[in-house]
Structure 1
Amino acid sequence: MTTTPVPGLTAVLDTTRTLLEPALREAVATHLGPQMNRIARYHFGWSDAEGRPTGAWGGKMIRPNLALLSARAAGAEAEDGLPAAVAIELVHNFSLLHDDIMDGDETRRGRATAWTVFGVPGAILAGDALVAAATCVLLAAPAAGARSATLALTAATRRMIDGQAADSEFERREDVTLAECVRMAGDKTGALLGSACALGADLQGAEPRLVERLEAFGEHIGLAFQLVDDLLGIWGESAHTGKQVGADLRVRKKSLPVVAALNAPGTDELRALYLRPEPLTEPDIRRVTTLVERAGGRDWAQNEADRQIAAAEECLTAVDLPDDVHRAFTEVAGFVVGRRL
């Protein structure tokens, strides 16, 4: 998968990285013991498996960038939102460490995943350490809303975990409803993006209406992102996704377009093919792709993604934001969901 940030957004993301990296390194050094520190530094790309510095750092910094914008939305400087940016990035990487284990992924950002280098127990514990460190960073912030922001991030983290648990459960079920799938995606993907968009403002003690609208904006963008990601998982071109066409169908993922199609009337053939225990052949995958589209799964997902983006825009226009902050939020949102099929 490739995405191309607009020129102005590239500068914003670079500024975020410059502000965030020293603060994030300090948080990891301060709040993690030596063993967990070593695993975390490897995962972030700062060092190799032997602990030697690499001078590198992976990741797009989307969530911390949103947290810094959130502080600016409340009238503060971007630097005032650094504890929120650090905390959201720590929680995000907690989820990545655990996701790599659950999905059996052996590479991330072009090198071996932490669990393949340090073992499953070590990677699990390092993830746990990162989410605990996020709490410490927020509670120690010299800001009026430190406690409120900590509670909000904890709630978002719990929702993200619930969404991941539901996603795993769906793999074993044949009766997943579309409402359940949308709720799962909102929890798994939308909750943390919503928190990122609101956390900086919450940390500054902003008015509840501003915090609520920013959080809703992020949740809508998160759900749109998941819808587009699910569309790419079926119809995305390999040159852009880095995966085989129909990759999600090969593992029988209960993605949003698939669940929408499975719950449509007259889909007996699709259900028989997709829910059977035998592996899908290449002709089966092509047939399933056709049946999902014929049942309306593709159109529903595309239309729902458009609806979520429109709802996100309404959330921004409902509050009074500086023009440059409003523009930056929409640019980041466009980068998040502007992925090519």
Structure 2
Amino acid sequence: MRVAIFTDEVGWHTRQLQAALRLRGAVGRCIDLADCHVDTTAAWHGLVIPGFGRALPDAALVRGIAAGSFEAVTKRLGVLHALRALGVPVYNEGQAIERSVDKSMTSLLLQAAGVATPPTWATESAAQAQRIVMRESAAGHALVLKPLFGSQGKGLMRVGLVDGTHVPLPPMQQVAGRLAYLQRFVPQADATRPGFDWRVLVVGGRAITAMRRVSPHWIHNVAQGARCEPAPLEDGLVQAAEAAAGALQMDYAGVDLIPSPQGIQVLEVNGVAAWRGLQQVTRFNIAQALVADLMDRKMAQALQRRA
């Protein structure tokens, strides 16, 4: 069995996946989606996947998609859509990745599914964004301005009422994509102690492991220096994480959650989640759990569809 591991970076995560696939008698080949292309003369299916000749992979596991122009990213996602249409199990599917990469779509789907998440706004109008920030600031709230397509806690800033001082929205020309994605900031209950949020890994619809990301800074991403601590899978955490992954129809997801006076709230849902930090506090092998779900559930579903 040959599995395409779609990734723009070869490293620890891809080695973990390849080792897990070998344990199941499969071979994982790392391929950048940028190197895949359409050629309707090359094979009956019209796709060229490097390393597979005229054939298609038996399955595809999406680990990362490189940034690029709108056209380039559309083509890369189109390859994932085409593979699924051709009967190849894709883990996560292109549509699921689109839902999670676009934070505004994530917020819409979480809201529609009744999953608790902080109030959120996304607008291209500078005037409307300014009014939102002013109104929230007057009500005593800070907002987090996030890049719509950002990850790993990069490019985040707080606006509105921040530590008792009004921080205005920067000029729209300085905002990524000239689009303001604003989410109400959830402060820590005890400001004298390092804050935290949770990362829960959901695989095949089931929360399987969790950690607390602890940091004195208000950004709790591991990539920004947060400390990883094991966290028990308590009922409230499990229910919120599984509901979030279900709302976006994810095969696997890294769900970020935070405690609030209103209860646990979902901040983000990651469709190509890294798990190196989580593996440090998890007793079982996460890559093996992902591969097991791909082969035992996802591929079985594909076989049923073919039948």
TM-score of the two chains, using structure 2 as the length reference: 0.25
Higher strand share: 2
Q: Which has the higher contact order (CA 8 A, sep 6+)?
A: 1
User: What is the TM-score normalised by the length of structure 1?
Assistant: 0.23
User: Normalized per residue, which structure has more helix?
Assistant: 1
